[in-house]
A and B are shown apart, each in its own frame.
Chain A
Amino acid sequence: MLLVSEREQLPVREARAGKPSAWDALFKRYQLPLYTYVFELVRHEQTSLDIVQETFINAVRHIGGLRDGAKFGSWLFGIAHQKCIQHWRKRRPEQVPIDDDFEEGGFDPGPEEILIRKEQEEQFMKSLGELTERHRAVLLLHFVEDFSLEEIADITGAQIGTVKSRLHYAKKTLRKLLEENEA
């Protein structure tokens, strides 16, 4: 299993200097996880490809705004997340999932990992789709890139307490849906 939590040496410094090979390496590293995240939020292939392309172009233009090269991944996903919100705003402005500022107690998402059996894969994807966008977003960030709570808070613009409670709720709901299906 790929340990996404390992801080691999990304050529961010070379990318800042404008080296195309560095950008190519960065884009290759993130294109699939980024597309997966965006697709599971907007649920439309062409829109997802457009958002990924815009995210990459924005990253090239605004790399100077990235202070810490080690946070390139969360920074890139943050740009993509904003683009997804803009897409929702255009589609259904009255239902934009604005991140709330409330904090629902100190839920600890826990270190336990969810493992899915082959026969449960479809149900897993269906259950994921049934979550609201804000819960799906934090769960996807947690699953796809194993971002920390702080990184997820930075990406989504929510407070850490809010991220904790959403992640706890999303995992609990997912487990419940998978167990119901098993039964």
Chain B
Amino acid sequence: MKTPREILLNRHRDAGPKLDAVREKALAALAPAAGNTAPARPVVSWPLRIAWTLWRELIFPSRRIWAGLAAAWIVLLWLNLPGGNKPARMLAETLPPDHEIQALLREQREMFVQLVGSGGPSPAVPNKTTVPRSEVIQTITLV
């Protein structure tokens, strides 16, 4: 008694030599041009091979996830770059130029004057402490 596999393979075993020729032709697709003894593929150093295997097995199957993570990290790094006051620079870029600020302040002062009704800002309280205290002669009036 034989299995179907044995029957089938035995039936076609005579095609062996022709299959060997087919195999040789297929291997020729690998072999380099005649006369060239160099290997079909260039010899790749092991670090590159490891890197390629890591790329193929780990990164390429989840390339979109890795790309998203990398983009997030790039944004974070850019926001936290040392040297260069990025927040202040960003703030400065959003503020209007100085002359505009001064014009705005001037306008607001004029509005204040109009509202308060005086000719100008009230004079500042004179500074009474121009002389050191130790030299101030105090006059005491007895009543």
Residues of A within 8 A of B (CB): 1-2, 4, 17-18, 20, 23-24, 27-28, 31-33, 35-36, 39-40, 45, 49, 52-53, 56-57, 60-61, 113-118, 121, 124-125, 140, 143-144, 146
Contact = CB atoms under 8 A, between A and B. Distances in A.
Interface in B4-59: 4-9, 11-13, 15-16, 18-20, 22-23, 25-27, 29-31, 39-41
Contact of B18 (A4, A24, A49, A125): A49
Contacts of A40: 8
B27 A143 contact: no
B1 interface: yes
B55 to A, nearest CB: 12
Contact of B8 (A18, A36, A117): A36
A20 B30 contact: yes
B138 interface: no
A143 to B, nearest CB: 4
B31 to A, nearest CB: 6
A115 B3 CA distance: 5
A115 B26 contact: no
A39 B3 CA distance: 19
Contacts of A28: 23
Contact of A36 (B9, B27, B40): B9
Nearest to B39: A18
B5 A144 contact: yes
A125 B4 CA distance: 9
B89 interface: no
B8 A56 contact: no
A2 B2 CA distance: 12
A75 to B, nearest CB: 15
A32 B9 CA distance: 7
B119 to A, nearest CB: 88
A52 B12 contact: no
A33 B3 CA distance: 14
Interface of B: 1-9, 11-13, 15-16, 18-20, 22-23, 25-27, 29-31, 39-41
Given A20-B30, A32-B13, A116 B2 contact: yes
B23 A31 contact: yes
B40 A18 contact: yes
B19 A31 contact: yes
A52 B20 CA distance: 11
Contacts of A4: 5
A143 B10 CA distance: 13
A126 B20 CA distance: 28
B12 A36 contact: yes
B111 to A, nearest CB: 75
A26 to B, nearest CB: 10
A174 to B, nearest CB: 9
Contact of A33 (B9, B25, B30): B9
B30 A23 contact: yes
B12 A32 contact: yes
